Structure 1
């Protein structure tokens, strides 16, 4: 995928997230086992730090990617309803960095890691 295509996809997803789609009851959309916020965040942090150009610190994720990470990954985790807002935001930050540097592959890598694959 070219940079312009990636930018268009990110903008589209951010627009969808910004529209505030209604929350629909039912099972979570993320096929991972239940876990603590700290445990899931540690996995996301480890994966994100591995792909950062400067591995000494995390860059601040863009607001659009934060919204994508929050709504498509964090809020879809089966344990998310039991986490605090601060815990969900901390995880969203790491997931957004992972998405920024790895895109969908980063999310798939996170799901595999959370499943022990």
Structure 2
């Protein structure tokens, strides 16, 4: 199990190092526009729910922060209106969610944002 996690983290880190440029066009995250406060509140709630009991604080792996920013935060249709600090805060909670739920966590976030 731990070997699988380290392989997955190595793969993610390799993707992040590619530093692919953002492409123009429609954002890839299929959710309605919203304020960064609303989106962050949903991501935070979901992330805190999946944290293991007794964990001192939600500190995601640095490579997951970059992945969350690139594949989720920057792909939100409202992201161009958010500040860099707001994006970092949201990326933090999305990274915690990814760390503990993987793609299922992102799908949970998309589902909740579409309900909202």
Distance in 1 between residues matched to 2:78 and 2:100, nearest whole Å? 25
2:77 corresponds to? 78
1:102 corresponds to? 101
Distance in 2 between residues matched to 1:108 and 1:94, nearest whole Å? 14
SS at match of 1:103: helix
Greater mean alpha carbon deviation, residues 49-58 or residues 9-18 = 49-58
The answer to whether 1:62 aligns with 2:61 is yes
1:18 corresponds to? 17
1:93 corresponds to? 92
Over aligned residue pairs, what C-alpha RMSD do you find? 1.7
Q: Is the 8 A contact 1:47 1:98 kept in 2?
A: yes
Distance in 2 between residues matched to 1:93 and 1:51, nearest whole Å? 14
Distance in 1 between residues matched to 2:15 and 2:106, nearest whole Å? 18
Distance in 2 between residues matched to 1:56 and 1:16, nearest whole Å? 28
Distance in 1 between residues matched to 2:30 and 2:2, nearest whole Å? 29
Structure 2's unaligned 5+ residue stretches are none
Shift of 1:11: 1.8
Q: Deviations over 1:45-99 (max 9, x none)?
A: 0000101123786321110100110100000000001000010000000000000
Q: Is the 8 A contact 1:49 1:55 kept in 2?
A: no
1:8 corresponds to? 7
1:44 corresponds to? 43
1:111 corresponds to? 110
Structure 1's unaligned 5+ residue stretches are none
